[in-house]
Every structure is written in structure tokens, then in C-alpha cells.
Structure 1
């Protein structure tokens, strides 16, 4: 297939043959009046609030300034921060141990951990602190020795051992560990079970599996919630006032009782709390009218890395194009640029003469707003390498969501179309299944059906078989082969050279962000002109 750089809708007489002149186009950035109005409204609210606060003498800023750096307040703040840090460290360590016990295969150990977590999460912190503060009434002394004998190594009065600070530290630790244990357990369960199997296959000890393989990966889930819990812990330290421990809140209350200033000292508490926060932070069913794709001189960079470099390509309506190339050659970025998931730095892309991401008036291109881009994107379907099905929706719900919400199709018609598509790909019996109940090949076929439900002009495939087991590749490729006969324009990034040779009308080879060669499969695979193409094919054929 011959390549062309013609742009549909552009007067060919305005350019010389073979030129790439698009300098006459002037791009006008999209305007967002709603965004501007929101900014102005937010600025007015902020100014009004600040003016009200700083000009009202009843806020008592003089008193606030007098006491903010007073020694008792700074000492109380230091004690609060110390309690927060110590309880966070000890609670995290104990919580991690409880989480590991919770997922243990020992029913007794797991049950003990569950009971501890349930009990400590049920008791309010203030109640727990009061119990610990009065522990000397329940147990006068703390003894360490050999059980059921008279041998005692340590015998110490409880009230002397459990000082207010120790009671506060212990209470916050016990409370924090129960909540942190569930956070860690959730993170552990979020790690793919295959990771454990891989570690076990390597013969790694269970301890190594837990601390080297599972927990580091679980941190992606643990850290965000864990930091929120630390902020809550910093706030919870104010409850230790019941122990008469002179931390920040207790100190502020004592000062308040002396000067009877109502507002300034709660403001002080809020300000120092902010300091703590800153510290943590049927073929007819599938048939569609394909669209002609024109890619004209596009370039794209990520920082200093240029991933697309002056790419030119013309894909006729109903064609099937396979894009080959080594990893990092820009294949996936080019695919994402076609449906505007990646915005290019230079150049233009059109489908049936309509510019992707822009509206045209004469020689001026107006950047579209996101809602308009979404409407046009419905004509350019995409099937992802990792399926990206919505896990909380059934197969049917995955297929009918976009036709109803984007195309405005009635639910009855959308359901009928979904049933027909599932019948064509052999998955009618999975209509009410969830993605997690499907194999990889089945998920990819559903992803293809979901894209087809919008009846797109162009359908993009980003390495559709790379995430599949070899025995599942064939069932997905068979569906794509059938699609190639429906009239939809297909653009496929793939490493399946045999498939590309059999199905594609045009094979494109990319390297270093440029198209080095393009043409019919027979010529590319048998008589490639570019040495880099021949080198690549020699390794994969």
C-alpha cells in the first residue's frame, strides 16, 4: 500500500506536491470560562475569610502571639510530637506483627490476632487510657517470674512503673497497632498471589517472602492510608489530658483557665496541629464503516526524550495496519496519539478529515475542550494490553455502559447489541460474569467487544496478546482476523510477526520514534529495504 501525506479536507492546490507545509495553521488554545469563574469565586471567598479573621479583634491575635512561643506551650508541643513519633513507631511494628499473624495459617494465632484487633478497635481511646491509668487498682504490682512457682525475678508497684507518660504511650500504641494491623493486612492481600508463588518457586524462606517480596509491594497500598492514620494519631494525643499529662492540649487548657481568652488558644491548638500535619504528608453485527487516518508530521517528547519524531503515515478506510518495532520505539505512544490519549507537540492527526483534538475554521484550528474530545474519541476505539475491564461491573454492564452514556442508545438496544457481540466472540454464557471470573483470553475478547459496542470507525490494539498465555493467544487473534473482514480500520501494535504477515494490509516498522519502513507484508518480510528492519526481522522470524 502506497503511503501518502494528503490531508482530507485540505485543498491540494494550496501545497506543492510532496511538501509538508502546515505552517499556515494557527492554533487557538481552548478557553475555559467556567474554570476562570471558579478561580475568581475561590479568590473572593479566600479574601473574605482572611479579611474577616484578621480584622476581627475578638480573635485575640495579640494573646495568640504572646503564647505561641511561650515555654509551657513549646514543652507541651514537644511532648505531643514525642508521643506521636513513639506511638507511631511502636504501633506500626506491633501492627505489622499482628497483620502477619492475622494472615497466618495457624487458626489459633490468626484467631488471637483477630480478637485483639476487634477488641482494641472497639474501645474508645479515652476509655483505654482511663483503664491503663487505673491499672494499679486492678493489679497492685507487676511480677515477672516462673509461672505456678514462687520464683519471682521482678516485683514492682504498678503505679510507679506506669507513669502518666508511660500510660499514654502504651495506650496510643495499643490503639494504633489495631488499626495499623488492618491497613497492613489490606496491603498484603492487595499483592498478586502470583508473587508469593514465584517467591516460593525460588525457594525463598517464608520470612524472606514476607519482608522482601510481599511487604515492599504492599507499601503502595499501606503508605497512603498509613499516613492518614498517623495524622489521626497526632490528633488523638490530645486525649491524654485525662491523665493530667502536660502535653499541648492540656497545657493550652491550663492557660485558658487563667486568662479566660475563649478563641486564641483553640487557634493555637489548631495551628500546632497544622505543624504536625506538615510533618506527615454475525458479521453484520461487527460491520462498520472504517475511517481514513492521516498522520501528518507528528512529534512528541517526554522531557528530553523524543519518542515520536516527525511521523508521517496515511491509512485508508478499512485497512489493517500492523506496527512492529523494538521496545521503546514509540509504537504505543503513536497509537495513543491517534485517539488523543497522548497530545502531540507538533503535527496533526485526522480521521475522515476531522482533526483529532481540534475543530477547524478556515486555516485556524481551535483546540477542543475535554468533553468534545471525549465525543470524538468514541469513533476511535482502543483495546488495551492489560484489558482494563471495569472489575466491579459484569460483562454485560461493561459492554452497555458506553453505548448508553456516550451514544445515547436505549438500554434495550444496547443489551441486544451486547448479546450479539458476545455471541460473535463465543462468550454468550459469560454475560453476567465479572472480569475476575474470566480467563485472560476471555477478558481480552470482552475488551474487544466493549470497544466494538460503540461502532468505532477506527479500532486500535496495543499489543493485545502480550499479557496472555500462549495457548490463549489464538482465540484473541481469531477474533481480530474476523474483525479485519468487517470494514473497520484496524491499527495493531504487535510482536506477533506471523499474525501481522497473515492479516495486515500494511506493515510499519518503527525505531527511535521514526517510521523507517512501511509497505505490504510480502515486501517487508521478504525484501525489507532498511538495514534496521532486516536486522530486527532476522531476530524475530
Structure 2
């Protein structure tokens, strides 16, 4: 579009040029910013002055610098510095991650032990810790491996022989780094939205898989910047092991300049090598951050590491496909959604309180297999809590919920009920899918990766079969072309349809919808409701918390109206929505219809 066409539409009172005037040959002069020019000149001047001062002053001893920069003793000391950095970083962050997981665990004693470790080793200066470890033989003559508080010993060593200066340095760097890295990792874990934990749990993913596949990859975005600061601190902190007379880079430089008295040139050798180390770390940090930022931006910049890993993954996948996996035909347009017969839901005398607030009060409800139930009521009436209780994301205070006769959260033995462990609850959740109000897609996984994660991990479906079924599901919800898109690259309606496909991938008996359209723009509501209408004909038992009264009238077999944690009315939509018995139902409908 030309500039002439832009100004043609200006109102009559604007200073528009005469009709037919051609601006295409005009020269455009960019706006000038004098302050920027002054700042640029000033910065350039500072750089020139500093470089001239450093390079022209013979006392810097650049000839001495050049002589020693690649000298063998310096390179040996550099290698030891790099080794200490690598070992301190690796062991420090491994121990720190375990401490962070212990800190956020459900065990008060384990969390207290982790807190005590962090408190102690963040308080002790590194140089003091190194000296204590190097003189550990004064406190303990031998170190032995055996059963505590008994005479049973498997092996023992003389402390002075076992704890060499190098091992003392590694231990000191590890123990010090673990205390700081623990808080870095814990901060990253706490930064992951609670909805991500619930979405992973609702899919039945094992706890270790929730942490390794869902939580930690997202936490890495918060962890990495401060983690690399800590790695840089470890690299520089290796200079403190000079106190142990360990010939790393800084100690080697000290030995050399004490002999030739060329202090500044030799210190510059150490400085430049530290700059090289930190520059390499900064380069690696940049590309690792790009890798873990996948899904955070609509159009992320390419990452060299991500590209290399993707090429490697494709090579492996292609080799596996050629050797073991037959070609999978594309699904036909009329293929149905994977489904199974619906489950019966029985809710008996269920109550739930949050402190003094009772959100569910003696709720009783029976839903037949394959039925579609719409739960309506004002905000705060207990609808969402009831839904979460069916999936055992909320543990009820009283009463029981059963799917096809199996109690959620308990194992029956005669007349005794035993509360299930978390791994057993996760296994039972596989039959109860859930679609959340705010989607809760995993932002670091593509649409198709979101869908296949639970079938592969929980159901044990082969990856090729899971991919084929996921593509079929995406096609049925109208998103076949969005398989490799990240959630942030999708509209709200598209994200909700992916969330539905993800829940369906496990072929649940029951599918729960927690206000599936409340987070959507009005224009996007229809596309999600159309998918739910199709599901209503699939045989899966649906329970839908919704404010869409017209939708409930069209799709639901029965409507449940809740108020203050109680079910005030239930029945067919034609009766409850047209001729309700309870006055509170009539009052509510009068406001929303």
C-alpha cells in the first residue's frame, strides 16, 4: 500500500495533499535523536580512552602476558580449574535438586533437614569450609562405611589419606554450591503454576514423571539465569582453593609471579582466562535458555542446541520407524473419537470444608453410565469443588465417591476402607479425565506432545500408535494442522480443544469439564461447545460445570442446581430449566436467562 493510498482516507479537515499527488519519489528523512548521538559518542570515547590506556602503557607487560598465556603450567592449572568447576557444578546441583525436592515434599522432618542443611552451609564461608575439610583428620582419624550404632563395618580409610587437597576442594565446592542451588531449584519449582501440577495429576502421570517431564522443564526457565550465576560463582570460587596449596589457575599464577615478580602481567593472564571461561558459559547459557523457553514465545528465535537435539531426535525416530514400525495410514475423515463405555458415578454424603467455610454439604448424586450432566449455580456454590472431588484432586472430609463401584481414593477390605497411596490414586484417575477452566496445557510441549504424554507414560501405548491416535483426535477437533504448535501459538478456543483431545487420549470412562468456556471470548465459545456436543454422543459419561444455560438445555440429560454447597434441585433440563420447583432455582434462572 502506498503512502498516497494511506492519506486518501483522511477526513476533510486534515492537511491532506492534493488528489493525484505522487509521493513515491520523495526522499524519507529519519527522525533525529540528539541525545542518542551524544550518548553514542560518549560511549565510543570511553572505549577508546580505556583501550589506549591499557595497550599503550608498557607497565602492563603485554610481552610477558603473551609469553605465559599458553605456558604449560598455566594450562595445567586452567585444566584443574575447569575440572573443579565441572565437578562442583555437577555434584552441587544434583545434591541441591534433591534438597529442593525434600524441601517441598510432604515430610516435615525431611523438609526441616533440608532447611537445616541450607541454613548451615550458606552461613559458612567457602574458605572456612575448605580448611575444615582439609583438616578433617584432626576430628575423625578414620572414615568407615557400615551400619550406624553397631560394630558392623564394610570398609574403612585413614582420613588423612582419603581426604586429599583435591577431594577436599571438590567436597567444599559441592557442599557450598548445593546450599545455594537448592534454593535456586526450589524457587523454580514454586514458580510453576499450580494448575500444571493438577493437570499432570489429573492425567494420572506418576509422581516422578510429573517432576521430570512437566514441573522441572518449566521450572528451568526460572532456574537457569540464577543457576548460571551460581556456576560462574563456582568457577571463580575455585580460586579460593589456593588455601589448600592446590595448583589450580590462580595458585599457579601466584607461584609464577612470586618467582619472576611480574605481578600485573601474570594477573592479567588469569583474568583473561577467567573471561574466556565465563564467556563460554554465557554462550551456553544463552542457548540453553532458548531451548527451555520453547512454548514461551509465539515466534521463538532458533537455538543451536535445540536444533541439534531436534536433528538427533528425528534421526533416531526415523531409524526406529524404518526398522520396527509399519506405516500408519492417515485417519479417514469419518473416523470416530477413541471412546469406551461410560462409567457410573455415585456420590454419597460428601462434605468438604476449607477452614470454617463449608463448600460441600452432604451432597448425594447418582449419574448413570453415558449420561450428560450439567451442573449450574452461582459462583462459590461448590460446583468446581464437587468436580475436583470426583477426580480426587480434592480429598473430601466425609462421604464417598465411586466410579463403577470402585471408591475413589480408598480400597475396600470387608467393612474397612484403606486410603490409597498417591501412586494408586494416580492409577485410578486414568479413568476420570478432566478439562480445566484455564486449559492447563503444558506450555513447553507441542499440541501433539501434550496429547501423547499420558497414553505413552500411563497406558503404556507405543509412541507410534499414540502419535497416530493423537493426530486422529486433533483432526476430529479441527486442529490437524496445529499438531506441532505450542499452546501459546494457539487461540483460547484452540487450546481448549487440545485440552479435550488430551483428556480423551486416555479413553476415560468419565470426562469432567470445569466451566470449559468461561475463559474464552464469546466468539470462541461455539467451537468448543460443538466438540462437547459430539462427545455427548460418544458414550462417555460427561459432567459439565457451566454457565451456558442454552447449551445445558440442548445437550444435558439432567441438570443439577447447586447453592451453598448443596444440591437444591436436579432433573431433566425441560423441567429444571423451564419449570423449576425450588424458588432459589427460579430466582437464579431469572437472572441468567
1:210 maps to: 211
Structure 1 position 56, deviation (Å): 1.0
Assess, with a 3 A threshold, how the Cα gap between structure 1 residues 26 and 496 changes in structure 2: closer, same or farther: farther
Aligned pairs for 1:7-86 (under 5 A) are 7-8=10-11, 9=14, 11=16, 14-15=19-20, 23=24, 27-86=28-87
Structure 1 position 464, deviation (Å): 10
Residues 100-136 of structure 1: per-residue CA shift (max 9 Å, x gap):
0110110000000000011111110000000000001
Residues 41-85 of structure 1: per-residue CA shift (max 9 Å, x gap):
111111111111111111111221121111111100110011001
Between the aligned partners of 2:26 and 2:52, the Cα distance in structure 1 is 48
2:89 maps to: 88
Between the aligned partners of 2:44 and 2:191, the Cα distance in structure 1 is 41
TM-score, L = length of structure 2: 0.47
Assess, with a 3 A threshold, how the Cα gap between structure 1 residues 24 and 60 changes in structure 2: closer, same or farther: closer
Q: Conserved in 2, the CA contact under 8 Å of 1:188 and 1:218? A: yes
Between the aligned partners of 1:156 and 1:473, the Cα distance in structure 2 is 64
SS of equivalent residue, structure 1 residue 14: coil
Which of 1 and 2 has higher RCO (CA within 8 Å, sep 6+)? 1
Between the aligned partners of 1:110 and 1:214, the Cα distance in structure 2 is 19
Structure 1 position 96, deviation (Å): 0.7
Q: Conserved in 2, the CA contact under 8 Å of 1:59 and 1:263? A: yes
Q: Conserved in 1, the CA contact under 8 Å of 2:492 and 2:524? A: no
Aligned pairs for 1:502-521 (under 5 A) are none
Structure 1 position 276, deviation (Å): 1.0
2:449 maps to: none
Residues 399-435 of structure 1: per-residue CA shift (max 9 Å, x gap):
xxxxxxxxxxxxxxxxxxxxxxxxxxxxxxxxxxxxx
2:320 maps to: none
SS of equivalent residue, structure 1 residue 275: helix
Q: Conserved in 2, the CA contact under 8 Å of 1:248 and 1:269? A: yes
Aligned pairs for 1:88-127 (under 5 A) are 88-127=89-128
Between the aligned partners of 2:220 and 2:204, the Cα distance in structure 1 is 23
Q: Conserved in 1, the CA contact under 8 Å of 2:80 and 2:248? A: yes
Gaps of 5+ in 2: 1-6, 283-298, 301-436, 439-490, 497-514, 528-593
Residues 458-509 of structure 1: per-residue CA shift (max 9 Å, x gap):
xxxxx999999667579x98xxxxxxxxxxxxxxxx54689xxxxxxxxxxx
Assess, with a 3 A threshold, how the Cα gap between structure 1 residues 27 and 7 changes in structure 2: closer, same or farther: farther
Between the aligned partners of 1:230 and 1:155, the Cα distance in structure 2 is 33
1:188 maps to: 189
Between the aligned partners of 2:492 and 2:278, the Cα distance in structure 1 is 45
Q: Conserved in 2, the CA contact under 8 Å of 1:141 and 1:157? A: yes
Assess, with a 3 A threshold, how the Cα gap between structure 1 residues 255 and 116 changes in structure 2: closer, same or farther: same
Q: Conserved in 1, the CA contact under 8 Å of 2:165 and 2:246? A: yes
Structure 1 position 11, deviation (Å): 4.4
Assess, with a 3 A threshold, how the Cα gap between structure 1 residues 151 and 34 changes in structure 2: closer, same or farther: same
Residues 182-205 of structure 1: per-residue CA shift (max 9 Å, x gap):
110000000000000001101111
Aligned pairs for 1:242-253 (under 5 A) are 242-253=243-254
SS of equivalent residue, structure 2 residue 231: helix
Assess, with a 3 A threshold, how the Cα gap between structure 1 residues 11 and 75 changes in structure 2: closer, same or farther: closer
Q: Conserved in 1, the CA contact under 8 Å of 2:8 and 2:16? A: no
Between the aligned partners of 1:74 and 1:243, the Cα distance in structure 2 is 19
Q: Conserved in 2, the CA contact under 8 Å of 1:76 and 1:246? A: yes
Between the aligned partners of 1:271 and 1:11, the Cα distance in structure 2 is 61
Aligned-residue RMSD, C-alpha: 3.0
Between the aligned partners of 1:464 and 1:26, the Cα distance in structure 2 is 44
Assess, with a 3 A threshold, how the Cα gap between structure 1 residues 49 and 11 changes in structure 2: closer, same or farther: closer
Assess, with a 3 A threshold, how the Cα gap between structure 1 residues 472 and 133 changes in structure 2: closer, same or farther: same
SS of equivalent residue, structure 1 residue 263: helix
Assess, with a 3 A threshold, how the Cα gap between structure 1 residues 473 and 76 changes in structure 2: closer, same or farther: closer
SS of equivalent residue, structure 1 residue 179: helix
Residues 306-358 of structure 1: per-residue CA shift (max 9 Å, x gap):
xxxxxxxxxxxxxxxxxxxxxxxxxxxxxxxxxxxxxxxxxxxxxxxxxxxxx
Between the aligned partners of 2:180 and 2:276, the Cα distance in structure 1 is 23
Structure 1 position 150, deviation (Å): 2.3
Aligned pairs for 1:258-269 (under 5 A) are 258-269=259-270
Structure 1 position 22, deviation (Å): 6.0
Q: From 6, 9, 13, give the equivalent of 2:9.
A: 6
Structure 1 position 91, deviation (Å): 0.8
Assess, with a 3 A threshold, how the Cα gap between structure 1 residues 11 and 262 changes in structure 2: closer, same or farther: closer
Between the aligned partners of 1:11 and 1:30, the Cα distance in structure 2 is 21
SS of equivalent residue, structure 2 residue 144: strand
Structure 1 position 262, deviation (Å): 2.6
Q: Conserved in 2, the CA contact under 8 Å of 1:465 and 1:473? A: no
Between the aligned partners of 2:248 and 2:160, the Cα distance in structure 1 is 20
